[in-house]
Amino acid sequence: MLKYDIVVIGGGPAGLAAAISAKRRGAESIVVLERDKELGGILNQCIHNGFGLHTFQEELTGPEYAARYIEQLEEERIAYQLNTMVMEITPDKVVTAMNREAGMFEIQAKAVVLAMGCRERARGALNIPGYRPAGVYSAGTAQRLVNMEGYMPGREAVILGSGDIGLIMARRMTLEGAKVRAVVELLPYSGGLKRNIVQCLDDFGIPLKLSHTVVDIRGKERVEGVTIAQVGPDRRPIPGTEEHYSCDTLLLSCGLIPENELSRGLGVEISPITSGPLVNECLETNVDGVFACGNVLHVHDLVDFVSEEASAAGEHAAEYILGGAGRSGSQGREVPIEAVEGVRYTVPRTICPERMDEKHTVRFRVNDVYRDCYVSVYFNAKRVIHRKRPVMAPGEMEAVVLKKEQLAAFPELSQITVKVERQ
Amino acid sequence: MQVKELICIGCPLGCPLKVELEGGQVMGVTGNTCRRGDAYARKEVTNPTRIVTSSVAVEGGSLAVVSVKTREDIPKGKIFEIMEALKGVKVQAPIHIGDVVVQDVAGTGVDIIATKNVW
C-alpha cells in the first residue's frame, strides 16, 4: 500500500492552498488527488475577473488565480495525481482511489484534508413541471461549455436563480451574442453578490425578477419556452401572474451543495444547515486527523477566503502529523459556538480557548436581509462584541474575529453565541 | 447638487457609494471603505470602464479555447466592439498567461492577453 503523511482530496483552490501550507509548516510527504485532467478546480472555468484582491492585492481571473497556486505547488515539489477519483476513505484513513494508469489503489494516510468542493443543485431537486427537453443546463455546466470547451449552449436563455454563477453566465451569454430574457429568483432578494447584479445584469439591461419562479418548461425535444409566475410570501406561485418567455435554453443557478459522500462514508458528522462537516477551530472534523476546508465545508462567495481557510486546514494537518496537535493531542476544552436569531451557522462550530491562535475569524451567514442591525457575540450571557452592519444578506458571508486574550479572560466560558440584534 | 447612488464593483464587498455631483463635477464620494471605491465612483459617473473577459479559439492545444482579458479596463461603451473583434481570433498552442492575443483591441489602446496556460 502507498503511504503518505497527508492526502488532500481535491486539487481546486482549497486543496492547493492546504497542500502548500502543510508543506511549508513542515509536512514532507503530501499527495493531492484530483479527478479532473488539470489542477485548479472550478477556477478554470471562472474566466471573469475579481479574484485575488484579498490574497494578491490585484484583480485576477479564475485561471490566473489558480495558476499562482499551481506554481507554488510545483515549487514546493508536492506530488499530485490527475484524472484520479477517490472512491472511499475509511476511518483509519485508508484512501481508495482509481485512475486509468494505476487502476484501483490504496493509500494509507496519517491525516486527510477534505477539499472536494461542491456541486450545483440540479433540476431534479427543484420540482419544475414540464417535459425533459434538451436545453436545460446548470449554470456551471453552461459555464464550462462556453469557457473551456468552446460551445454555446443556446441563443435565447432564461436563468432561474440569481446565485453568482447565474449572474456571471447572464453576462457571459450576452457577450457571446445570446439574448438573456430574464434572471428569475424565487426569493425577494438575490443570492448573488451586489457587484454581480451591477456588472452582470444592470450593465446589460437584463431584468432580475425577484419573487418569481419557473412553473413550466415547454418543448419536447428542445426547450421552446418557459412560463414564469410571481410567488407569494409562502413561495408558492400566484395564479394569474403567469408570463410566457420564449427561449431555447434554461440555466439553473439554484444553490450549491457541498460534496460530502466521501466524508459521510468515513463517519464525519455533517451539519444539516451547511451540508458540510462540523469542525473545530483547527478545521478538524469529529474524525481524528481528518480536516475540511473550502466549499466542501461550507459554500463560500470568495475564493480568497477559501484559500485562507484551506491554508489554516493544511497547517493544522501538518501540526497533527508532526506533533499530534488537534482534537486528539489537546487537553483543551471545546467551547461550542451557537448560531441563533438570524445567524444560520458558524464555521468553526467549536473553539478551544487554550489551543486557538491569537485571533480566530468565525465565518457565518445570516438567514434574511437585515438593514442597520448589529452582529453580537455573547460569552455565556455577556455581550462581548456588538458591531453595526448597514446591510447583511444571506448571499454574502459575514465574519467576526475572536481574540485569544478575550476568551482567556473568561475562564468560566461554556458557550459562545452569535446573533443578529436590532439594537 | 445631484447625488448619485452606486454599488462599488471594485471588490466583492459591494460598498454602497454616494457621489455628489455639481454640474458634472464630482464634489465628493462617501460610503466607500477603500481608495478603490473612491476611484471607481469618480470614474463611474464620468467615464465608466470595465475589464472584459472572454475566450478565443486555440489550435493544437489541450483545450478548445483559451481565456483572455483586456490588460486594463476599457470604456464600458466599447464592450461589444471588443467582443466583435475577438470573433474568429485563433491562437496556436502553447500559449501562456500574459501572452498578447490581440494588440490594441478595437482602437482602445489596450491589448487582449491570455489568462490561462494552454499546452
ipTM: 0.92
Are residue B70 and residue B109 in the same domain, yes or no? yes
Residues in chain A: 423
Query: A69 with A162, same domain?
Result: no
Q: How far apart are CA B11 and CA A105, in angstroms?
A: 43
For B20, the domain range is: 2-46
Nearest-angstrom CA–CA distance, A267 and A112: 13
Contact assignment for A148 to B63 by CB distance below 8 Å: yes
Residue B20 lies in a domain: yes
Q: Does A257 touch chain B (CB under 8 A)?
A: no
| Full residue range of the structural domain in which residue A203 is found | 122-254
* Closest CA relative to residue A328, chosen from A111, A107, A90: A111
Q: Is the pLDDT of residue A328 over 90?
A: no
pLDDT tens column, A249-282? 999 999 999 999 999 999 999 999 999 999 999 9
Average pLDDT over residues A220-236: 96
Report CB contact under 8 Å: B67, A50.
no
Q: What is the pLDDT of residues A6-49, one digit of tens each?
A: 999 999 999 999 999 999 999 999 999 999 999 999 999 999 99
- Judged by phi (left if over 0) then psi (alpha if -120 to 50, else beta), residue A353 lies in alpha
Mean pLDDT on B21-41: 89
In terms of Cβ atoms closer than 10 Å to its own Cβ (0-12, 13-18, 19+), residue B88 is: exposed
Q: For residue A304, give the chain B residue with the closest CA.
A: B12
Cell numbers linked to A296: 466542501
Give yes or no: residues A6 and A101 share one domain: yes
Query: Residue A11 in contact with residue A36, Cβ under 8 Å?
Result: yes
For residue A329, the model assigns a pLDDT of 54
To the nearest whole number, what is the mean pLDDT of chain A?
Answer: 93
How far is Cα A404 from Cα B59, in angstroms, rounded to an integer?
A: 56
Report residue B26 as a C-alpha cell. Answer: 464630482
Q: In this prediction, what percent of chain B has a pLDDT beyond 70?
A: 100
Distance of residue A208 Cα from the nearest chain B Cα, in angstroms: 16
Average pLDDT score over residue span A394-414? 90
- CATH number at A322 reads 3.50.50.60
Cell numbers found for residue A200? 452582470
Lowest mean pLDDT among A23-37, A192-206, A329-343: A329-343
Asked if the Cβ–Cβ distance from B11 to A53 is below 8 Å, we say yes
Q: Which of residues 45-74 of A touch B (CB under 8 A)?
A: 47-50, 53-54, 59-64, 67
Residues B42, B86: one domain?
no
Examine the fold and report which residue of A309, A330, A351 is the final residue of a domain before the chain moves on: A330
Amino acid occupying residue A28: E
* A375 closest CA partner among A346, A413, A408, A335: A346
For chain A, how many structural domains are there in total?
3
Q: What is the pLDDT of residues B72-84, one digit of tens each?
A: 999 999 999 999 9
> What's the structural domain count of chain B?
2
pTM: 0.93
| Cα–Cα distance, A276 to A299 (Å, whole number) | 9
In a shared domain, residues B81 and B61 = yes
Are A214 and A359 part of one and the same domain?
A: no
Same-domain status, B41 and B61: no
Residue B24: all three cell numbers together: 458634472
Mean pLDDT of the region A219-245: 96
Q: What is the pLDDT of residue A393?
A: 87
Give the end of a domain, one of B13, B30, B46: B46
By C-alpha distance, which of A269, A298, A274, A306 is closest to A285?
A269
Average pLDDT, integer, range B22-42: 89
Residue B119 inside a domain? The answer is no
- pLDDT at residue A327 above 70? no
Nearest residue, CB atoms, B12 vs list A63, A149, A193: A193
B53, B95, B117, B119: best to mutate for the A interface, most A CBs within 10 A: B53
**Helix, strand, or coil (residue A317):** helix
pLDDT score at A325: 57
Residue B38 resides in a domain = yes
How far apart CA A328 and CA A285 sit, in angstroms, is 11
Identify the pLDDT of residue A147: 96
Query: pLDDT digits over A65-88, tens only?
Result: 999 999 999 999 999 999 999 999
B80: chain A residues, CB-CB within 8 Å:
175
Do B81 and B103 fall into the same domain?
Answer: yes
d(C-alpha A204, C-alpha A84), whole Å: 41
Report the pLDDT averaged over residues B13-40. Answer: 88
Counting one residue from chain A and one from chain B, the pairs whose CB atoms sit within 8 A come to 87
Residues B65 and B110 in one domain: yes
Contact yes or no for A258/A295 (Cβ under 8 A) = yes
Q: Is the pLDDT of residue B15 over 60?
A: yes
The reply to whether omega before A233 is within 30° of 0 (cis) is no
Kindly state the average pLDDT of the residues A186-209: 92
A88 shares a domain with A112: yes
Do residue B109 and residue B66 come from a single domain? Answer: yes
Contact yes or no for A117/A203 (Cβ under 8 A): no
